[in-house]
Chain A
Amino acid sequence: MTQEIAEYKTVKAEDVTTWYKAASMEAFPDNGGAAIEYKGLQIAIFNFSRRKEWYASQNLCPHKKQMILSRGMLGSEGEEPKVACPFHKKTFSLKTGNNLNGDECDLATYPVKIQDGYVYVGFSH
């Protein structure tokens, strides 16, 4: 693994210094996700079209350190939007990145904004 999990740190909306233009909205399937590369980081961006919401998190599943979450399945637990990892179905809140099964650790999340048909992810570096 070339990337250590520690490189992924949650970015809060108010701390964004760079809005990175990731790709056009069409690149992200309805109710699904796709990954982007930014300065050596892999970020999963989710188009939760059913809820008309967009989310971004690290692409790395903390359970077995797999670069895979963009291919995970979206869903909800109560009100909380979540993504399930394809490997062992560990689930994470898309809002907070918290692991919802109570084990392993949490995901770093990033703010997303949509402008003129493009998807932007917020970074603080």
Chain B
Amino acid sequence: MEKIIVIGNGMVGYKFCEKLRAKAGKNQFEITVFGEEPHPAYDRVHLSEYFTNPSVASLEMAPRSWYEENDINLISGEMIIAIDRANKTITSHKGTTLSYDKLILATGSSAFVPPIKGVEKQGVFVYRTIEDLDAIIEYSKKTKKAAVLGGGLLGLEAAKAMIDLKQETHVVEFAPRLMPRQLDNAGSDALLSKMEELGIRLHLNKNTRNISGDGKITAMEFADDSILDVEMLVISAGIKPRDELATACGLAVGQRGGIVVNDLLQTDDTDIYAIGECALHKNFIYGLVAPGYEMADVVVNQLIGSNDKTFKSYDMSTKLKLIGVDVASFGNALCENETHKPIVFEDNYKGIYKRINISEDGKRLLGGILVGEAEAYNMLLQITLNGMALPPNPEDLILGSRGGEETKMELPDSAQICSCENVTKGDICQAIVDNGFEDVAQVKACTKAGTGCGACNPIVKDIFNEQLAKMGKVVKNVICEHFDYSRQELLDIIKIKKVKDFDQLLDEHGKGDGCETCRPLAASLLASTWNEMILEKGKDAIQDTNDKYLANIQKGGSYSVVPRIPGGEITPDKLIVIGEVAKEYDLYTKITGGQRIDLFGAQIHQLPDIWEKLINAGFESGHAYGKSLRTVKSCVGSTWCRYGLHDSVSFSIEVEERYRGLRSPHKLKSAVSGCRRECAEAQSKDFGIIATEIGWNLYVCGNGGSNPQHAVLLAGDVDSATCLKYIDRFLMFYIKTAEPLNRTATWLNKLDGGIDYLIDVVVNDSLGIAADLEREMQFMVDTYKCEWKEVVNNPELRKKFTHFVNTEIPDPTMKFEDMRGQKKPVEWGA
């Protein structure tokens, strides 16, 4: 077996292993990888996500077990310090010496630290590894003001991270503009205002002369004699290829660093290759991951015996990954040394700047810049890379066409769509045709497109839709592969054929064994038709986990418990019971946004005991686990409030008790306010009620969450009975006609005729179904039972609340730690 040693277990070193194992025969190579960092290779491109989710596991390119399964000997935490080319061996700092047949240098680069006086001071960091980030996070706990040195792509990313760490954030750039290698002055200006909106303060044209402070940084001093007081500094001034090993063993390196390679990625020793950020190809270091992956591919190709593939210079187009800031540059963005005709669009009001560079002859796109609006990025990049002919009015490319047909351009099959994984449009279309895929996720799993940096996801989706349309496939609104019906059709079947269980539904109207999409959906339909206990008669097998255990599953596998507290009104005695239960079972306790109390961290076997205590004290299930009514929030209303018009608390309790336990396509939230000051925020709810001088205003289809939407008026100045009647009709109509997992707001947005139509149906009974809707709702109200009460009193149902069935012990892997005097689960995978 040929011995391959890889030095460096970064993104490219990892990809090399993955590709070699995938393409080479089983026993062709013995692979050993050395990584100096303690973790297996991780996704450095998404390193900044570590600030919001500090989990190494979710950044890893593959878990350690992957290396084992693929028979790759991974040695982490060991640095190679010498290469002996004569004897073909390498030696690590621990003294390990191994021999190789072929050696792959994938040592990447380190952050470039400019020789400024004082850089060694405490509080000065670079931004490259997980260890760097850990140190920054730790240090930031004591600081309030941070600066980033360098206003390039990475520097801006680091600046956003400083904002996330709650620092007053400054960016210091030597050049007169931001992202000097990608943007022109006008583009930089547009970006500048975007960054300022994020709260980042920018200092251009600043040459840092000294970092001052006694042991630790307290200020930066500039050549123009100005001073910036800061407590922390992150340096992001470029990269320095790690070529020290290569230099020491006599391989050629570039003047400004980098291991010299030819088009086959060979160094001047043909048994040694260099790939990724440490390789200097045609006097160029590629500081991006996609070209590194391509280099890995070229070397793998040679090792398995074909020399037909060489590394050609690679596109350096980039898009900034900051949320809320669209910035991209592609092709020859600045065209500093190329004659061209630029077309520029600027909207200083919205902060948009777009520039495209057209070739002298007006036929080709050379490159461009997009700031503030970058949807066109993928398309423009493709036009540039593929040298596609331009539309008659090239300005349409950045203006969108005004009136008339939209300018849509058909990409050639050879267009490279995903540069991380080198997937072309042809590959994607072929995968769809060959496998009959009808879901983008399948296409992505098969081709790997979009699994790298993710920038190409929108265009992958477009190509997917286009291809399906070409094949004449209408993407019908069916639930999943097991039922050829929409949700509404399935509900009709359940009602008309009086279907009461899932197996019957599947046998008579579906195929296969069901799945995680259709099972909970059918469970919800059955519940909102027959209102039978959801855990009985085998129905537990079709409930989503939360419904199955009548509790919300949380990180680490514990559950939370939410008793109903109608209208948010609670007696001191009941509060004491909640406190006692929480104390006895050591539950993390929090007041929810819906005016009730959530108890977290219960183990599965404790749930029935906890609920027994709560039920004995007069509580009932709060259905926080279900797609069902959550809370009806209320303000204190006319009983106490000097502005109150009606008793909003009493009415909210009446409403909450009427609709408790009702299963619906998604969760339902409601509120009642005692006057139009609206303290209960009823207009952000699925249905909200506000007192008027003479009655109530009923608003529907509001939504907080990720896409906030105000509720709209369904009926004004109605009395309590009419209000309830309209809610009955409204909710039942929603339950019957909504698509799966659509909240009321989304449902209304899709409803033909919108709110006017809804008013017609609910208030004017234009469909003549109002009486049916009311009757069906009344049936639900009359058959309501507290699910937890039934479980607590039923030994059979109680039995399934255990972690193991062959021993009484609880899950030994569940772990908690302390936070502000209460417990919390340890992080994912920690």
Task: Name A residues whose Cβ lies closer than 8 Å to a Cβ of B.
Answer: 1-3, 5-6, 22-23, 27-32, 34-38, 42, 48, 50-51, 62, 64-68, 71-78, 81-82, 84, 86-87, 89, 91, 101-103, 105
Q: A65-B829, A78-B481 are in contact. Are A27 and B445 (CB under 8 A)?
A: no
Complex partner residue of B516 from A27, A28, A62, A73, CB under 8 angstroms: A73
* Segment at the interface with A among B346-354, B490-498, B573-581, B803-811: B803-811
List B contacts of A101 (CB < 8 A). Answer: 441, 445
Q: A30-B541, A67-B557 are in contact. Are A36 and B68 (CB under 8 A)?
A: no
Complex partner residue of A42 from B482, B540, B813, CB under 8 angstroms: B813
Interface size class on chain B is 35 or more
Contact at A87–B807, with CB atoms within 8 Å? no
> Shortest distance in angstroms between A92's beta carbon and chain B's nearest beta carbon?
11
**A-contact bits for B509-532, CB 8 A (1 contact / 0 none):** 000111110111000000000000
Contact at B515–A76, with CB atoms within 8 Å? yes
Contact at A66–B805, with CB atoms within 8 Å? no
Complex partner residue of A37 from B446, B557, B806, B830, CB under 8 angstroms: B806
Q: A27-B805, A50-B513, A64-B828 are in contact. Are A2 and B557 (CB under 8 A)?
A: no
Contact at B806–A71, with CB atoms within 8 Å? no
Contact at A66–B556, with CB atoms within 8 Å? yes
In the complex, what distance in Å separates the CA atom of A95 from the CA atom of B557?
25
In the complex, what distance in Å separates the CA atom of A35 from the CA atom of B513?
22
List B contacts of A37 (CB < 8 A). Answer: 804, 806-807, 809
Complex partner residue of B66 from A23, A27, A72, A105, CB under 8 angstroms: A105
Query: Is B163 part of the binding interface, using a Cβ–Cβ cutoff of 8 Å?
Result: no
Contact at B813–A68, with CB atoms within 8 Å? no
- Besides A2-B813, A86-B544, A105-B66, 18 new A-B residue pairs in contact (Cβ under 8 A), listed by A number: A1-B813, A1-B829, A27-B805, A27-B806, A31-B538, A36-B805, A36-B806, A64-B555, A66-B555, A66-B828, A67-B811, A74-B513, A75-B512, A75-B515, A76-B513, A76-B515, A81-B513, A102-B441
List A contacts of B453 (CB < 8 A). Answer: none
In the complex, what distance in Å separates the CA atom of A86 from the CA atom of B546?
9
Contact at A75–B519, with CB atoms within 8 Å? yes
List A contacts of B451 (CB < 8 A). Answer: 103
Contact at B446–A71, with CB atoms within 8 Å? no
Q: A75-B513, A84-B516 are in contact. Are A66 and B557 (CB under 8 A)?
A: yes
List B contacts of A91 (CB < 8 A). Answer: 515-516
List A contacts of B803 (CB < 8 A). Answer: 35
List A contacts of B830 (CB < 8 A). Answer: 1
Query: Is B736 part of the binding interface, using a Cβ–Cβ cutoff of 8 Å?
Result: no
* Cβ contacts A to B, 8 pairs, < 8 Å: A30-B538, A30-B541, A64-B555, A67-B814, A68-B553, A73-B520, A77-B481, A102-B444
Query: Is B240 part of the binding interface, using a Cβ–Cβ cutoff of 8 Å?
Result: no
> Shortest distance in angstroms between B418's beta carbon and chain A's nearest beta carbon?
14
Q: A30-B541, A37-B807, A105-B63 are in contact. Are A75 and B514 (CB under 8 A)?
A: yes
Contact at A2–B812, with CB atoms within 8 Å? yes
Complex partner residue of A89 from B62, B445, B516, CB under 8 angstroms: B516
List B contacts of A72 (CB < 8 A). Answer: 545
Interface residues of B in 779-803 (CB under 8 A from A): 800, 802-803
Query: Is B341 part of the binding interface, using a Cβ–Cβ cutoff of 8 Å?
Result: no
> Shortest distance in angstroms between B111's beta carbon and chain A's nearest beta carbon?
30
List B contacts of A32 (CB < 8 A). Answer: 540-541
Contact at A76–B63, with CB atoms within 8 Å? no
Query: Is B726 part of the binding interface, using a Cβ–Cβ cutoff of 8 Å?
Result: no
List the B residue with the shortest CB-CB distance to A82: B515
Query: Is B64 part of the binding interface, using a Cβ–Cβ cutoff of 8 Å?
Result: yes
List A contacts of B814 (CB < 8 A). Answer: 67
